[in-house]
Structure 1
Amino acid sequence: MEWVVIVSVLVMTILSLLRVNVIIAIIAASLTAGLMAGLSTVDSTELLVNGMGGGANTALSYILLGAFAVAISYTGITTILVNFLIRVLTGKKTMMLLVIAGVASLSQNLVPVHIAFIPILIPPLLKLFDNMRMDRRAVATALTFGLKAPYIMIPAGFGLIFHETIVTGMTENGANITVSESALSMLIPGSGMIVGLLIAIFVSYRKDRDMPEGAGGIEASAIIEQEAVSFNRKHVMTLIAIAAALAVQLITESLVIGALTGLVLMFLLLAVPFKNGDRVMSEGIAMMGTIAIVMLVASGYGNILTETGAVQALVESSSGFLDSSNQALIAFILLLVGLLVTLGIGSSFGTIPILAALYVPICVAAGFSPMATAALIGTAGALGDAGSPASDSTLGPTSGLNADGKHNHIWDTVVPTFIHYNIPLFLFGWVAAIIL
């Protein structure tokens, strides 16, 4: 049973590297896990479908956030930002990448649209990237950094949800910790991501890269010349809607309600005409629909791994190492198990409750402090958001960078982000678990 996770994740990874569609790869991994656990194909499929309900909240959030982002773009406020970037940063590749990472960071804590801003902001910049001979792998790593690092280290917006999930998981399993302590424990692992970003920008992808002719993407029409837009009343109303969406999301701790609030206000404040409602929703679904489906299927895969006991079996199979008094060895094994599990599921928020139930008893018995335990759980969960084919932190950047058909999801987003973020996250998280 302990081989179920390892083999199924390998199936997903190999198929993804062979450029098989990520949804098909996850379904294949799910059926592999079910069959190895002794289930029939029909039972495995039913377990997969039943588990997809666990990702319904996330999927609906992404659809509404996509519509919210489309509504924002209709006002032209994103055009102002794009024109500013083109005017100020043309020819300045390093600064452009750092600004993109900064803008992406705002989507986690300040402007709660998560990945929905990418298909709006990035496609108009692709022609500029090509003219600057910029390596799009560097852009992908900059975007993924902004989608991940802020919520790991800052307990606001998505970060508040992340750390409250850690606190809840630990408390329910007998280890008490506060949100502030959880955030402090993740500063060291988060620093690893900063190191990975700097290596990607200044070392790995600093050379010029000429892009081939594109195959043409469904969003290629988004790559147009940006018209001059002046700040006006609609943009003021848009900023009010964004602020309201953030406030409601923080108060209710619900992405769905926050996104819905922002979307409704865009119409009530007349920032977007009522007659464009159908178009806004249709384009929002077109933009985020694929990612939402991937999240649903990944949730079903996670359900198979948990319901069959595959994750627990993997942890128990490592009991020989976990019984050791060597905390460094225990931390290494726990992170390795977490890497395997989260690579398959692709969601830090979804895997933390699973990991907390398994990790807390082991960490308490081994003498780890609550902050060290939080660092292990948070790092193991975060490993799934960078470098997994099923993660929104890799799917999001690809949705924007592949608008013209020139960017491959696996080789241009997943592999670079795995190298530059999962490796330092693992190492820095390991160090945090030892010294905290």
Structure 2
Amino acid sequence: MNSVIIAVLIMLVLSLFRINVVLSLLIGAIVGGVTGGLTLENTISIFTEGMGGGATIALSYALLGGFAVLISSTGVPTAIVEGMTKIVGRGKSSRKKSLTKVLLILLVLLMAVFSQNLIPIHIAFIPLLIPSLLKTMNELELDRRLIATALTFGLTAPYVLLPVGFGLIFHQTIVDNMAVSGMEVALADVPKAMMIPTLGLIVGLLIALFISYRKPRKYENSKFVNENTAGDYSKKDILFAGISIVVALVAQLKFDSMVMGALAGIIILVVSGSVSLRKADELLTDGMKMMAFIGFVMITANGFAAVINATGDVETLVTNTASMIGNNQAIAALLMLVVGLIITMGIGSSFATIPIIAAIFVPLSIQLGFSPLATIAIVGTAGALGDAGSPASDSTLGPTAGLNADNAHNHIWDTCVPTFIHYNIPLIIFGWIAAILL
């Protein structure tokens, strides 16, 4: 069996059995490397070198975690809740409670969508916003799996469909790699081709909202939630919290660095006196501890990706799949999408998957007579598959980073499994339909 399949399956199975994700990635990488023809020594060396690629994002998450706790201490969560209360009115009636839930879900969803296109900060907003809202979610008995699916939708659907912000990068990556592989397409063709697959993501979101996670789910207010959700606040602190968030955003966009963004925000809060220097040290440490797990996963995921790429079996997997297809377009489209799912689940990045699969899928699509739009749909969907659902993906690690701040949200069973079911399965179905119809 192909070493990539072996590595990904081992990682996923161990994760589903609640083995720590870092250990699951490490064991999967070692077994995959050895079965792929690498020596144990080479596998460990490649894994270790590959880990370096995740150092920057791990530091970014650590600082963002600290920044998030500082923001929470200023009273921003209380201000947000009071703002929502003014909109829907006071009282504990079921109608007002439902309206508050709807407003909170819309807030989270819109922030996630804007983070991809309008204000391209990606996952940086999650550790700033979500931990602050956990107490409100607990009081509303809101199922965090619903918030996880809403966040992942907002982190995925916009870049899949819209050529703005990160979407422009994704679409340009598809166009460039398809051109290199022998098929010229226009950038304007990508949204047309990805409209049907995106409809699959919308269907998955609606199922999660109105069917899967409608029922109340109780969570206890932990020490973290109570201590990091300020009850009182001053207008000055809220003002400087807002300024710090804007400065952090500007710094991140200017320097293309979440590290610089978080650092700038932290400095504003401390210099303004909104958070005392002595208190800031303790809060920053707590925030970094909160994000440490996510950082380790990201570092390990980079090592995992380096190993499975070094085996050369990614290309072999695609080539062997192509030889199985024959001339049946329907089977060809389905198998290509499944291969894309396997590769992206392991690598954890749709952007990094596109160059790998386009090199083989495009010539194969030309040979089988797929139209340019159908080929875009296959390549784009195959790349996006797995981004929602992979334990190593930003689109799942980000939501977990915020929702698990009080250790009440499991990364695999509360984020990855729900997002896999609601997004990867519809993506395969609607991506296959797009490949056949276009």
Distance in 1 of aligned mates of 2:287 and 2:245: 19
Deviation at 1:32, TM superposition (A): 1.0
Q: How many corresponding residue pairs?
A: 425
Selected match of 2:229 from 224, 229, 235: 224
Residue 20 to residue 243, structure 1, CA distance change in 2 (3 Å): closer
Selected match of 2:183 from 157, 170, 175: 175
Deviation at 1:4, TM superposition (A): 1.4
Partner of 2:355: 353
Distance in 1 of aligned mates of 2:231 and 2:354: 42
Residue 240 to residue 26, structure 1, CA distance change in 2 (3 Å): closer
Does the aligned pair in 1 maintain the 2:121–2:249 contact within 8 Å? Answer: no
Equivalent position amino acid for 2:34 in 1: L
Larger deviation: 260-269 or 103-112?
A: 260-269
Residue 403 to residue 71, structure 1, CA distance change in 2 (3 Å): closer
Deviation at 1:28, TM superposition (A): 0.7
Larger deviation: 160-169 or 25-34?
A: 160-169
Partner of 1:252: none
Residue 226 to residue 197, structure 1, CA distance change in 2 (3 Å): farther
SS in 2 for 1:155: coil
Does the aligned pair in 1 maintain the 2:4–2:314 contact within 8 Å? Answer: yes
Partner of 2:97: 91
Q: Does 1:102 align with 2:144?
A: no
**1:135-146 counterparts in 2 under 5 A?**
135-146=143-154
- Specify every segment of 5 or more residues in structure 1 that has no aligned partner in the other structure, as ranges: 250-254
Partner of 1:51: 50
Partner of 1:14: 13
Equivalent position amino acid for 2:25 in 1: I
Deviation at 1:84, TM superposition (A): 2.3
- Specify every segment of 5 or more residues in structure 2 that has no aligned partner in the other structure, as ranges: 89-95
Residue 174 to residue 282, structure 1, CA distance change in 2 (3 Å): farther
Distance in 2 of aligned mates of 1:338 and 1:19: 25
Selected match of 2:371 from 346, 352, 369: 369
Selected match of 2:250 from 244, 255, 267: 244
Distance in 1 of aligned mates of 2:228 and 2:69: 15
Partner of 2:260: 260
Equivalent position amino acid for 1:109 in 2: N
- What TM-score do you get using the length of structure 2 for normalisation? 0.85
Selected match of 1:308 from 284, 306, 311: 311
Distance in 2 of aligned mates of 1:59 and 1:378: 27
Q: Does 1:427 align with 2:395?
A: no
Deviation at 1:20, TM superposition (A): 1.1
Please give the per-residue CA displacement for 1:221-245, whole angstroms capped at 9, x wherever unaligned: 6542443454875366446536635
Please give the per-residue CA displacement for 1:245-280, whole angstroms capped at 9, x wherever unaligned: 57537xxxxx42x76367548758997569969789
Partner of 1:150: 158
Does the aligned pair in 1 maintain the 2:71–2:128 contact within 8 Å? Answer: no
Equivalent position amino acid for 1:39 in 2: L
Q: Does 1:318 align with 2:321?
A: yes
- What TM-score do you get using the length of structure 1 for normalisation? 0.85
Does the aligned pair in 2 maintain the 1:387–1:415 contact within 8 Å? Answer: yes
Residue 343 to residue 315, structure 1, CA distance change in 2 (3 Å): same
Does the aligned pair in 2 maintain the 1:34–1:41 contact within 8 Å? Answer: yes
**1:322-401 counterparts in 2 under 5 A?**
322=325, 324-401=326-403
Equivalent position amino acid for 1:140 in 2: A
Does the aligned pair in 2 maintain the 1:383–1:422 contact within 8 Å? Answer: yes
Q: Does 1:115 align with 2:123?
A: yes
Does the aligned pair in 2 maintain the 1:291–1:392 contact within 8 Å? Answer: no
Residue 298 to residue 240, structure 1, CA distance change in 2 (3 Å): closer
Partner of 1:294: 297
